Amino acid sequence: MSEITDDVLVSIRNLRIRFDVRDGIVNAVDGANFTIRRGKTLGVIGESGCGKSMTAKAIMNMVPKPGVMTGEVTLYKRHVENGSQVVEEIRIDQLDKDGEEIRNIRGGVITMIFQEPMSSLTPVFTAGLHIMEAVKLHRFLPIESIGDTMTRNIQKKREVSPEEAREIAIDMLQKVGLPNAAQRVDSYPHQLSGGQRQRVMIAIALSTHPELLIADEPTTALDVSIEAQILDLMRELQETVDMAILFITHNMGVIAEMADEMVVMYMGKEVEEGSVVDIFENPKHPYTRLLLASIPEIGEKKRELATIKGMTPSPFNLPTGCVFHPRCPDFMPGKCDVVKPLLATVAKNQNARCLMYDPCWPNTAEAQAVKAKA
Amino acid sequence: MADNGMVKDKDILLEVKGLKKYFPITGGMMRKVVGYVKAVDDVNFFVREGETLGLVGESGCGKTTAGRAVLRLYEPTDGEVRFKSRALSKSGKPEWVSLRELNKEQLKTVYQDISMIFQDPIGSLNPRMTVYDIITEPLLIHNKIGPSTEEHVIQLLQRVGLRPEHIRRYPHEFSGGQRQRIGIARSLALNPQLIICDEPVSALDVSVQAQTLNLLNDLKEDFNLAYIFVAHDLSVVQHISDRVAVMYVGRIAEMAESIDLYSHPLHPYTEALMSSVPRPNPRLKKQRIIMEGDVADPGNPPPGCLFHPRCRYVQDRCKTEVPELREIKPDHYAACHFAGELDLKGVEMG
Ligand SMILES: Nc1ncnc2c1ncn2[C@@H]1O[C@H](COP(=O)(O)OP(=O)(O)OP(=O)(O)O)[C@@H](O)[C@H]1O
Ligand SMILES: Nc1ncnc2c1ncn2[C@@H]1O[C@H](COP(=O)(O)OP(=O)(O)OP(=O)(O)O)[C@@H](O)[C@H]1O
Ligand code: SF4
Ligand code: SF4
Ligand SMILES: [Mg+2]
Ligand SMILES: [Mg+2]
C-alpha cells in the first residue's frame, strides 16, 4: 500500500513525534506510515493515547510545542496551470509552521474537525463568524467552467462576498442539523450544547470544500440520528468535490459505515491495515481481534465486557520485542519479547505487524538463536 | 406531571419534578430579551439508590442542562429537586433535602454526595493545575487533604487506567481519552453517592471504554453508587443502565427499565432512535434510517406533541394537545397519546 500512484493525496512516511518531558521521552508517534487517497475515506482506530490526534496534527504541520516531528508528510496538490492540471508535491513537514503557504493549506486544502470543540472555537466569535472567516479566506466560487466534462474541476474562480459568506454559513449550519440556523448563526459557543458546538466545527471544516477532511472523533457528542445525517453530508460532499477523509474514531459502527480502508494503531505505529471489510471479517493482529471483541453490541446484556488485559505500557519503559507482548493472548515466549515485528503481508492488501505472520522471522539471527536454545 | 405516584418507592435517592431551565434569547441593538430557549421544560424523573439511570436523546435536547440544573450549576427556572443526603444529615442517617432551598454553604456540603463528570474534558480541566491538583481540589474544598492523599490519588489514577507518574503532569500533555479519565478520577475523589456522568466515555476507544464501564459497574457494586449516565451511544447506555430515560426537546419522552425500553419501546421517538444505531458491520453500509424532518427548536417549539412534525403515527390530536408522561405499564412511562396502542419495533434482544 505504499506506492505513490496518481490517486494518492497525502503520504506519511516514517512519522515520529516526540516529547521531552520531565521523566524522559514520550514517542507519541513512533514511525507511522499512512497513505490517504483522493476521494476515499481512511479510518483510524486505536487505543486512547496511541497517537491518532498527533498524526492528524502532523498532516497540518500543527504539532504542538514542545513536540518534535520527524519523517515525511507529502501533499500531492492538484491545481490548474495554463489550463491544464498539474500535481504539485508539497513537503508539509518542511514548511514554516507559521508561514503563508501552510496557512493557505490549513483551512483550505486540508481542514480538520478537532476532537475537543470548545478548545478550538474562539469564545468571542459567533458560530457564523467562524464559518464566514473560513469561507472568505478559502472558498472560491466558480465563474465559468473552462474544461470539458472530463476536467470539470478546472474552473475559473472568484472569492465570495460577505453576504454570500453569511448565506453559506447559515446553509452549512442547516445542513449539520442545527435548528433555526438563521438565528443560531449568531450564537456564541457557550450558548450551544456540546453536540451543537461539534456541529459548528464540522460546518467550518466542510464549508471550504477541502481536498482532505481530517475528522478527529467528529461525532462523539452527537446522537445517532444526527450522526447519521452528518455522515451522509460528508459522503455527499466527498462525491461532489472528491474530498478525501481521514476518519479517526473509536466507534466501530461508524468506521464500518464510513471507511474504505482502515489503519489500527498501537503505541504510535500502525499494527494492521487493510480494507474495512477484510479487517472486520478477518482481523489478523491479536490487538485488532481484541478491539473488535470489546464492543458492546446493542441487544445483548453482558455483565462484564471483554477487555484487553493490563494497560498500555509506560512510554519510558517500553517492552522489548513486540510492544504488545505483555498483553497479547498469542504471546510466544522467546520470540515476541525479543524481536520487533515488521509490517508483514497477511492477505491481499492486508498487512499486520505481528511475528505470527512475519515470513522473514525464521531467517533472522534471533530465530536461529532461539532454535539453537530449544 | 400528573400524580402517578412515582415516588412511593423507599429506595429513591433523587427525585426531580417539573424541572425547567429557560435561557433568554436576546436580539436587536439593545440586547432585549425576545424569547426563551426552553432547554429543559417540565422534566420529571427519579433515581434509586445504587442504580444507573441512562439519559439519552438528540444533541441539544437538554441533557447537560438538566444535569447542571439538578446540581444548581445552572439555577433552575422552576421545579423541585429532592435528594437523600448523607453529608447534610446530622443524625448519620440520610435525610431528604430540597436542593433548591439550600444556601451556598449547604450546597457545598451536598457536593460531597453528588459529583459530576463534565462533557468537555479540556474545557473543564484547569490547564494550570497538575493532575494531582485537579483530583484533590474537591478534597481541598472539604478540608480532606491528609498524609494518605497522594496514595489515594494514585489509586484513583490506576483504577481509571492512568499511571502513577501522570500525577505531576498537566492536562495538555494528555490525549482526549486520557483527559476524560482524569475527570472520572476526580469525580470519585470524595466517595459520592450519585455521579452525574455527562458523556463520560465518548472519547475512549472501545477497550478503555469497556474497562471504564466495568469500573463504573464495580464501583456501583462496591459503594452502592448511583449514576445518571448521559450518552448518545445506545449500546453503551443499554449495557450500563438499569433504567433509561429518553429526552426529546427539553422533555422526557419515555422512561423504563432498560431491556424493556429497548425491546418494547412505547414512544415513536424511541423507536426511531433505535433504528438509527450504527452497527459494527461494514457490509451493512448506509442502511440506517434517518428521521425525516428537522429537530424541533427549543426556542420555538411546535404546539402539541413536540415530536409530531416527525412522527410516523401522528394524528390530529397530536398537533394541539401536549401528551403527559404517564405510567403505561409498571415502571414504564411514556409521553405519547397513543402509547401502548401502537405496534412499535424495538431492538431484538439476544
Ligand atoms: N505536551 C505533551 N507532553 C507529553 N506527552 C504528550 C503531550 N501531548 C500529547 N502527549 C502524549 O502523546 C500521546 C499521543 O496523544 P494523541 O493525542 O495523539 O492520542 P490519541 O491517539 O488521539 O488518543 P485519544 O483517543 O485519547 O484522543 C499520548 O500518550 C499523550 O500522553
Ligand atoms: N447558556 C446558554 N444560553 C442559551 N442557550 C443555551 C445555553 N446553554 C444551552 N443552551 C441551549 O439549550 C439547549 C439544550 O442544551 P444542552 O447543552 O442541555 O443539550 P444536550 O442535550 O446536552 O446536547 P448535547 O448532546 O449536544 O451535549 C440547546 O438548544 C442549547 O443551544
Ligand atoms: S508479535 Fe507476538 S506478542 Fe506481538 S502481537 Fe504478534 S503474537 Fe502478539
Ligand atoms: S403523541 Fe402523537 S405525534 Fe406525539 S409521539 Fe405520540 S403519536 Fe407521535
Ligand atoms: Mg485524540
Ligand atoms: Mg450535553
A317 — contact with chain B (CB < 8 Å)? Answer: no
Ligand 4 near B228 CB (within 6 A): no
Residues of B in contact with A49 (CB under 8 A): 174-175, 177-178
Alpha-carbon gap, residue A289 to A275, rounded angstroms: 15
Q: What is the pLDDT of residues B231-272, one digit of tens each?
A: 988 888 998 999 999 999 999 999 999 999 999 999 999 998
**Pick from A213-222, A223-232, A244-253: least confident:** A223-232
Q: Find the A264 Cα to ligand 3 centroid distance in Å.
A: 14
Is the pLDDT assigned to residue B193 strictly greater than 80? yes
Q: How confident is the model at residue A155 (pLDDT cuts 50, 70, 90)?
A: low
Q: How far, in Å, is the centroid of ligand 1 from the Cα of B173?
A: 7
Res A300 pLDDT > 80: no
- The pLDDT value recorded for residue A2 is 46
A194–B120 CB contact, under 8 Å: yes
Q: How far is the CA of A266 from the centre of ligand 1 (A)?
A: 12
The pLDDT value recorded for residue B59 is 85
Least confident residue range of A92-96, A220-224, A239-243: A220-224
pLDDT recorded at residue A60: 94
Residue B290: what pLDDT? 63
A327-353 mean pLDDT: 92
Supply angle C-alpha B203, A202, A288, rounded to 5.
40
Please tell me the predicted confidence (pLDDT) of residue B285: 57
In this model, does residue B284 exceed pLDDT 80?
Answer: no
Residue A367: pLDDT band (50, 70, 90) is: low
Tell how far the Cα of B172 is from the centroid of ligand 1, in angstroms: 9
| pLDDT over threshold 80, residue A176 | yes
Atom of ligand 2 nearest to the CA of B61: 21
Tell the burial category of B292 from Cβ atoms under 10 Å away from its Cβ (0-12, 13-18, 19+): exposed
**A356 pLDDT above the threshold of 70:** yes
Contact A302 B239 (CB under 8 A): yes
The chain A residue lying nearest B286, using CA atoms, is: A257
What is the count of residue pairs from A and B with beta carbons less than 8 Å apart?
215
Flag whether pLDDT at B138 surpasses 60.
Answer: yes
Q: Which CA distances in Å does B32 have to A352, B75, B300?
A: 62, 21, 17
Q: How far apart are CA B136 and CA B237, in angstroms?
A: 29
* Mean pLDDT in residue range A97-110: 90
d(CA A208, CA A166): 13
Please tell me the distance from the alpha carbon of residue B131 to that of residue B213, in angstroms, as a whole number: 22
**Model pLDDT, residue B222:** 85
A269-277 mean pLDDT: 95
Q: Is the pLDDT of residue A152 over 70?
A: no
pLDDT at A223: 79
The model's confidence at residue A361, banded by pLDDT at 50, 70 and 90, is low
A53 lines ligand 1 (CB under 6 A): yes
Q: How confident is the model at residue B337 (pLDDT cuts 50, 70, 90)?
A: very high
How big is chain B, counted in residues?
A: 350
Longest dimension (CA), chain A: 77
The verdict on a CB contact (< 8 Å) between A296 and B349 is no
Higher pLDDT, A41 or B204: A41
Q: How far is the CA of B143 from the centre of ligand 1 (A)?
A: 33
Instruction: Tell me what pLDDT residue A4 has.
Output: 59
Q: What is the pLDDT of residue B1?
A: 40
pLDDT, mean of residues A313-326? 90
* Across A165-181, average pLDDT: 90
Asked if B206's CB is within 8 angstroms of A291's CB, the reply is yes
User: In chain A, positions 189-208, which contact chain B (CB-CB < 8 Å)?
Assistant: 191-196, 198-199
Q: Is the CB of A50 under 6 A from ligand 1?
A: yes
Nearest CA in chain A to B277: A224
Query: In chain A, which residue's Cα lies nearest the Cα of B58?
Result: A223
Q: What value does the mean pLDDT take over residues A296-307?
A: 72
User: Is residue B147 over pLDDT 60?
Assistant: yes
How high is the pLDDT of residue A350?
A: 94
Is the Cβ of A25 closer than 8 Å to some Cβ of chain B?
no
Mean pLDDT value across residues B209-216: 85
The pLDDT of residue B5: 44
Q: Which residues of B touch A217 (CB under 8 A)?
A: 176, 202-203
- When mean pLDDT is compared across A15-24, B145-154, B169-178, the lowest value belongs to B169-178
Q: Which amino acid is at A26?
A: V
Residue A320 Cβ < 6 Å to ligand 3: no
pLDDT of residue B248: 93
Contact in structure between B117 and B123 (CB atoms under 8 Å): no
pTM over 0.90: no
Alpha helices, DSSP H only, in B202-282? 206-223, 234-240, 258-263, 268-275
| Interface contact flag, A194 B297, Cβ < 8 Å | no
pLDDT at B2: 39
Q: Which of B324, B198, B321 is nearest to B267 (CA)?
A: B324
What mean pLDDT, rounded, does chain A reach? 86
Amino acid letter, A200: V
Å from CA of B342 to ligand 4 middle: 10
Q: Which of residues 60-89 of A touch B (CB under 8 A)?
A: 64
Asked if residues B342 and B348 have their Cβ atoms less than 8 Å apart, the reply is no
Q: Which pLDDT band, with edges at 50, 70 and 90, does B7 fall under?
A: very low
B205 pLDDT above the threshold of 90: no
Q: In chain A, which residues have their Cβ closer than 8 Å to the Cβ of B281?
A: 256, 280
* Ligand 4, atom 1: closest residue by C-alpha: B336
Order the strands of the A8-21 sheet from edge to edge: A24-37, A8-21, A68-81, A84-91
Read off the pLDDT of each residue in B73-98 and give the average, rounded to a whole number.
92
Q: Ligand 4 within 6 A of B138 CB? A: no
> Quick one: pLDDT at residue B4?
44
Which pLDDT belongs to residue A221? 76
DSSP-derived secondary structure for B112-129:
TTEEEE-S-HHHHS-TTS
| E runs forming strands in chain B | 12-27, 32-48, 52-57, 78-85, 95-98, 114-117, 194-198, 226-230, 243-248, 251-257, 326-329, 332-334
Rounded mean pLDDT, B286-297: 66
Top mutation candidate among B131, B172, B174 for ligand 1, by most atoms within 8 Å of CB = B174
Q: Supply φ then ψ for residue A84, to 5 degrees.
A: -125, 160
Is A170 near chain B, with CB under 8 Å?
no
User: For the ranges A279-283, A292-296, B338-342, which has the lowest average pLDDT?
Assistant: A292-296
Residue in B122, B177, B350 nearest the CB of A300: B350
Mean local confidence (pLDDT), B316-336: 95
Helix, strand or coil, per DSSP, at residue B240: helix
Asked if residue A216 has pLDDT above 70, the reply is: yes
pLDDT value of position A295? 79
Q: How far is CA A244 from the centre of its chain?
A: 10
Arithmetic mean of pLDDT, B78-102 = 92
Q: How far is the CA of B89 from the centre of ligand 5 (A)?
A: 43
B232 contacts A222? CB cut-off 8 A? yes
Nearest CA in chain A to B215: A304
Chain B residues touching residue A41 (CB < 8 angstroms): none
The pLDDT, as a whole number, for residue A140 is: 76
φ, ψ for residue B161, nearest 5 deg? 85, 25
Pairing verdict, β A261-266 and A41-46: parallel
CB A298 within 8 A of CB A255: no
CA of A50 to the centre of ligand 3 (A): 17
Q: Is the pLDDT of residue B210 over 90?
A: no
Q: Is the pLDDT of residue B79 over 70?
A: yes
Sign of CA dihedral B141, B147, B148, B152: positive
Q: Who among A183, A221, A290 is closest to B119 (CB)?
A: A221
Residue A145 has pLDDT above 60, yes or no: no
* For testing contact with chain A, the best of B118, B184, B207 (most A CBs within 10 A): B207
- B271 chain-A contacts, CB cut-off 8 A: none
What integer is the mean pLDDT of B12-22?
Answer: 96
Q: Is A26 in the pocket of ligand 1 (CB under 6 A)?
A: yes
